[in-house]
A and B are shown apart, each in its own frame.
Chain A
Amino acid sequence: MRVETGVFGLDSLLGGGLRKNTVTVILGSTGTGKTIFTLQFLMKGLEKGENGVYVSFDMDEKGVLDTALSLGWEEVKDYIEEERLKVRRFFAENVSYLNNELMSFIMSGSDGNSRIVIDSFTPLVSSLSYEMRNDVNWFFYKLRSLGTTVITLEEPLSGNLDEPSVTIPLFLGDTVLQLKNIGYGEAFNRTLRIIKHRGSWHAEGVFPYRILDGVGIVVEGVDYIEVRREKVDIDSIIRKMGVKVPEDLYKKLKKMCDAGMAGTEEAIKTILRSLK
């Protein structure tokens, strides 16, 4: 089952959206639009009658409201008043991801189908070591049981992604999206890349995006992906190559054809040649 991201143009690149009850990590440096992404994600759910939980380390309820209003999303005020959207600011020096208060707050607004945002996860894991991987794994496991989660992660300006505070959440997250902003003001200034999307097809490449008043993030490139899709007739290839294909392999190849990714025909021919 899929969960719409609320980000225009992105769901098609993710094979229909995020997978339900998963943890998505948005990696990006300052100014890439991570907070806007998370608000769009929450708004989409709230529009559909779902509940939302927003954990922030730099914005209180007023800050979140101001950000939403600056983009023209006035309905956020109603969602907060109706307590369908719960917002709480935590202070990083007082809390870790194993903290009871944090977990209780997330649980209080979640019903298994909720949308949960932690913006950003970086203060919680800044002193993380590789030995603490299991703790983050446990935390993500809990989040999955409570709803569909999007967490943001600060990409160091140095570009060094080798720190455990970055690699562990990236490794344990189900989906990782990287937002880039090179700051030169051209069309490819801001780009999105899908690093991983467990259990699902996803588009490969670098997709430009814009942040627009009223709608937020708009990602381009769906038509480019559609044009590159391959329609492959597996039976015709097998006939032409004269190969006997075991039934289980045939099912796998058929599934591959249905996905229609670029390079499918060539990949199938390579596999079939190995059977000869």
Chain B
Amino acid sequence: MSLLLRISELLEPFSSDPGIYMVVLHRIDGVPIYVKAKRDKKVKLTTLLYWLEGQIKEVLYYIFTRNLSEASFKFQDMVVRMYPVSKTLVLSIIAKDETPLYKLDLDLESACREISSLVIV
């Protein structure tokens, strides 16, 4: 099974959560390696995706130099949570502001660990 398929299997369950709009695995240069977005006409995710691509390198720098376990950004009624996966990858979750992400945190951290073990060669 290819790496992309393994990653998609690991991340698929998060994107089916009703409170989550988008799950993205970004590479350090801003390239999205995996994207799963919900079709919701009320939510304009494209702008956010552009913003994310431009910020990834900077955010990863802060995450690693300050040893952060995650970084969060709020945009109107949305929240962007970023979890470091490896030195080149970061997992971003874009969710409704009121979504209780703490319930997902353990699963997300576990997924990040699994992806990390797959990508570090």
- With beta carbons under 8 angstroms apart, the residue of A206, A224, A266 that contacts B2 is A224
Residues from chain A with Cβ under 8 Å of B48 in the complex: none
Contact A186 B39 (CB under 8 A): no
Q: Please, how many residues of chain B have a CB less than 8 angstroms from a CB on the other chain?
A: 21
B89 to chain A minimum Cβ distance, whole angstroms, is 7
B119 proximal to A (CB < 8 A): yes
Contact B4 A186 (CB under 8 A): no
**CB-nearest residue of chain B relative to A9?**
B2
Contact A220 B28 (CB under 8 A): no
Pair count A-B, CB < 8 A: 57
B107 proximal to A (CB < 8 A): no
A53 to chain B minimum Cβ distance, whole angstroms, is 34
B121 proximal to A (CB < 8 A): yes
Complex Cα distance, B28 from A180, in Å, reads 12
Residues from chain B with Cβ under 8 Å of A206 in the complex: 27, 31-33
Given contacts A184-B87, A188-B88, A189-B88, A221 and B2 within 8 Å (CB-CB) = yes
A110 to chain B minimum Cβ distance, whole angstroms, is 36
Residues from chain B with Cβ under 8 Å of A208 in the complex: 3-4
Contact B121 A187 (CB under 8 A): yes
Residues from chain A with Cβ under 8 Å of B120 in the complex: 186-187
Given contacts A182-B28, A187-B121, A220 and B3 within 8 Å (CB-CB) = yes
Contact A224 B4 (CB under 8 A): yes
A207 proximal to B (CB < 8 A): yes
A24 proximal to B (CB < 8 A): no
B8 proximal to A (CB < 8 A): yes
Residues from chain B with Cβ under 8 Å of A227 in the complex: 5, 8
B43 proximal to A (CB < 8 A): no
Residues from chain B with Cβ under 8 Å of A221 in the complex: 2, 4-5
Given contacts A186-B86, A189-B88, A180 and B2 within 8 Å (CB-CB) = no
In the complex, 18 of the A-B residue pairs with CB atoms within 8 angstroms, ordered by the A residue number, are: A182-B27, A182-B88, A185-B121, A186-B86, A186-B119, A187-B118, A189-B88, A191-B27, A191-B31, A191-B33, A206-B27, A206-B33, A220-B4, A221-B2, A223-B5, A224-B4, A224-B8, A266-B39
